Amino acid sequence: MSEVTPDRLDRIERILEQTASRLDQVAELSQQTAQLAQQTAQQQQQLASRFDSLVSETQRLFNRLGEEQSRTSAAVESLSDAVTRLTRNAEADRANFLQKAEADQVRWAQTQAEIRQIWEYLLGQQRGNGRGES
């Protein structure tokens, strides 16, 4: 066996001190790592909770949007039907108006002809009375 010298003992003691110091550093880093892991886990939990809320709110909004779209589609269909009915009614009213206008023009022309005949008759009567005819 070799003899243990004081220099060698000093060197072993320094190595042991360095090892202990490094172990203390590793322990401190390990503790910091554990704290960071815990903080990360908490942040992940908060993020997951926010994500769940976001998914829930998004689903609610999509459902509401679907309902609104259904109501809007029904309203548009109803308006379309109303416009179609109004258009048909307006076309029928226009046709009736044109028909009545034509009939009124015919009656007016007939009335004018009758008035002209009466007027000519009266003029003829007046001319006949002016000559002494009875």
CA distances from 7 to 2, 3, 21 (A): 13, 11, 21
> Whole-prediction pTM value?
0.47
Whether the per-residue pLDDT at 128 is higher than 90: the answer is: no
Q: Model confidence over 44-88: pLDDT tens digits?
A: 999 999 999 999 999 999 999 999 999 999 999 999 999 999 999
Cα 21 to Cα 83: distance, rounded to the nearest angstrom: 90
Q: Is the dihedral angle over the CA atoms 43, 45, 49, 51 positive or is it negative? A: positive
User: What is the rounded distance in angstroms from the CA atom of residue 119 to the CA atom of residue 108?
Assistant: 16
Contacts of 132 (CB under 8 A, 6+ apart): none
**Per this entry, what is the length of the chain?**
134
